[in-house]
Amino acid sequence: MLDNTLSGRTGPTCTSQKGGRAIERATTVVIGAGHAGLAASHFLSGRSIDHLVLERGEVANSWRYERWDSLRLLTPNWQSRLPGYQYSGPDPDGYMTMPEVVEFIERFAEISRAPVRTGTAVTSLERTTDGYRVVTDHGEIDCRTVVIASGACNLPSVPQVAEALPPEIEQVTPFGYRGPDQLPDGGVLVVGASATGVQLAAELARSGRPVTLSVGEHVRMPRLYRGRDVLWWMDACGVWDERYDQIEDLTRARKLPSPQLVGTPERSTLDLTTLAAMGVELVGRLATVRDGRALFSGGLRNVLSLADLKLGRLLDTFDEWARENGRDAEVGPPERFEPTPTPASARLQLDLRSGEIRTIVWATGFHPDYRWLHVPVLDPKGNLRHDGGVVDSPGMYALGLPVLRRRRSTFIHGIENDAREVIDHLAGYLAGGSS
C-alpha cells in the first residue's frame, strides 16, 4: 500500500512562499488515484511531465470502501487491463471481486511508480493567472494543468420523493449497503433496475426477504450469447469503439443505465425474467410518494417491450458481424430470448405505512461531487462541460467519465486510449500548440 509520500521521479519541482505559507509547484496535478488517475500518471511519466496524483483516501478508494461485499466486476478478467498491465491469472473468463480489483489497481500504481499522495483531500480548485491553484487539507499546489479523475460515481442520486417517505421506512443507498443482514426484517422495495438494482434485488430475494423492484428504463443483456460472453461480442464487433463525436445523441448515451449484468462463477444471466422467477415483484417506475403511498407508473409493459426490442437489435448487430467476418463457425448458432413476462396486473401503488415494506434501497444511479471545483465549467445540471475530456477551461482535463471519448470509456479497459489521447492534448497545450 502506498503511503502519503511521493514515489517515482515526477513529483513537484519547487516550492514558493506566499503570505507566510509554502506553496508547492508542479506542472500537472491529477485529482484521484483510481484507475483513471493512475492511467493519466502513466502517460504523463512517459512524456516526462512532472506531476502529482492526489487521493483523498487510499489508492482505488471507491473500489475499496464504496461497494457492497458480494459485488464483482461486470467485465470478464481478460478485459481487465491498464496501460502496460493486464490480468494474468488462472481464470480469464471469471469476474474480479472487489478485493481483487483493489489489488489489481494497487499493483498498477506500484509498477508504474505513480507519484501518489494518499490521504490528501482536495478542498478547492481555482484558476490563477498562469494555471490553477489546488488547495488540499495538507497545503496548496500551483500547477499549469490539472486532470480531474475523481470519478463519476462519488455520490448516490436519491430522488426528492425520498423526503416524503414515512419515518419508519429505512432508506439505504448502494454506498451504505454491505449485505442483507444489515437491513431490518421484512419487505424491501428496490428502486432502479440497472445493474446495481437487479443485483441487489436478487441478493435480497435469496436472503428470504420479499422484494419489490421498481423498474424504469433499463438495458437487458444475456451474460452469454452464442457461447461467448456478451461483452466479447461488444468488443469484437466494435460497438465499444464508437467515438463520442460519432454518436448522434451524446447526452443520452452518457446517461444510459448500466446493462443488467452480473459477474458470477456460473456466468449466469440476471434479468427481469430471472428475478420474476425468483419471486421478485415487478412494478413500474416510482412516480411519487403521497400520503404514505408509493405511486408507480402504469407504463411497465411499454418499458419492458422497449428493452426487449433493443436487445433484439443488438443481437442482430452481433449476428451480422459474425456473418460478414466469417466467424459463424467458431460460435454457436444465433439465439433469441423470450420477451420479458409482463405481470398480469402490476401494482400501481403500495402503502408504505402497512408494514409490508420496511426498507427502500435507492439504486437510482450516481453523480460526481464537484463541490470543491470553483472554476465555471459546470453545466446547469452539474456536469463538466468538456469535449472528449478537454474541459472548457484552458489546461483543464477530465478522465473516467461515461462515454468520455468512446463507448468503452465507462470500463477499466477503456481508460488506456482515453488517457493517452487526453495527455497528448495536455502535452500539446504545455508546448504552446494544439493537439
pLDDT digits (tens, 9 = 90+) for 374-409: 999 999 999 999 999 999 999 999 999 999 999 999
Please give the average per-residue pLDDT across 44-63, as a whole number: 97
What the block records as the C-alpha cell of 274 is 430471472
Please give the average per-residue pLDDT across 52-66, as a whole number: 96
CATH fold group of domain 158-362 = FAD/NAD(P)-binding domain (3.50.50)
Is-contact 165 171, C-beta < 8 A? Answer: yes
Cross-strand partners of 417: none
Please give the average per-residue pLDDT across 401-427, as a whole number: 97
pLDDT of 2 > 80? The answer is: no
Question: Which single residue is written with the C-alpha cell 471545483?
Answer: 373
**Model pLDDT, residue 22:** 85
Is-contact 206 262, C-beta < 8 A? Answer: no
The distance between the two most distant Cα atoms of the chain, rounded to a whole number of Å, is 73
pLDDT of 197 > 80? The answer is: yes
**Model pLDDT, residue 433:** 61
Give CATH 3.50.50.60 domain extents, the chain: 14-154+368-430, 158-362
CA–CA separation, 180 and 294 (whole Å): 22
DSSP state of 331: S
**Model pLDDT, residue 132:** 98
Confidence of residue 159 (pLDDT cuts 50, 70, 90): very high
CA–CA separation, 59 and 118 (whole Å): 7
Where is pLDDT greater, at 145 or 16? Answer: 145
Q: How far is CA 384 from CA 80, 131, 379, 415, in A?
A: 27, 18, 6, 18
**Model pLDDT, residue 344:** 86
pLDDT of 188 > 70? The answer is: yes
Is-contact 300 286, C-beta < 8 A? Answer: no
Is-contact 198 268, C-beta < 8 A? Answer: no
CA–CA separation, 265 and 288 (whole Å): 38
Is-contact 175 363, C-beta < 8 A? Answer: no
Cross-strand partners of 61: none
CA–CA separation, 283 and 295 (whole Å): 10
What the block records as the C-alpha cell of 165 is 417517505
**Model pLDDT, residue 61:** 95
Confidence of residue 13 (pLDDT cuts 50, 70, 90): low
Is-contact 177 171, C-beta < 8 A? Answer: no
Give pLDDT tens digits for 91-147: 999 999 999 999 999 999 999 999 999 999 999 999 999 999 999 999 999 999 999
Tell which residue, 348, 395, 380, has the closest CA to residue 126. Answer: 395
What are the start-end ranges of the H helices in 325-399?
A: none
Tell which residue, 39, 350, 375, 402, has the closest CA to residue 194. Answer: 402
Q: Please give the share of the chain, as a percent, with pLDDT higher than 90.
A: 93
Helix (H) or strand (E) holding 104: helix 98-111
CA–CA separation, 248 and 246 (whole Å): 6
Q: Please give the share of the chain, as a percent, with pLDDT higher than 70.
A: 94
SS3 291: coil
* Terminal Cα distance for the chain, rounded: 36
pLDDT of 173 > 60? The answer is: yes
Q: What is the pTM of this model?
A: 0.93
Please give the average per-residue pLDDT across 357-386, as a whole number: 97
CA–CA separation, 198 and 163 (whole Å): 24
Candidates 1.20.1440.230, 3.40.50.800, 3.40.50.300, 3.50.50.60; CATH matching 14-154+368-430 = 3.50.50.60
pLDDT of 16 > 70? The answer is: no
- For the beta carbon of residue 15, count every other beta carbon within 10 angstroms: 13
What are the start-end ranges of the H helices in 242-352?
A: 250-255, 272-277, 300-324
What secondary structure does DSSP assign to 130-159, as a single string?
A: TEEEEEETTEEEEEEEEEE-S-S-SEE---
Q: How far is CA 410 from CA 39, 385, 402, 418, in A?
A: 14, 17, 5, 10
Where is pLDDT greater, at 160 or 11? Answer: 160
21 backbone dihedrals φ, ψ, rounded to 5°? -120, 145
pLDDT of 10 > 90? The answer is: no
Compute, in degrees rounded to 10, the torsion defined by CA atoms 39, 40, 41, 45.
110
Is-contact 125 375, C-beta < 8 A? Answer: yes
Tell which residue, 225, 243, 416, has the closest CA to residue 331. Answer: 225
pLDDT of 1 > 70? The answer is: no
Please give the average per-residue pLDDT across 175-187, as a whole number: 96
On average, the pLDDT of the chain sits at 94
Please give the average per-residue pLDDT across 335-344, as a whole number: 94
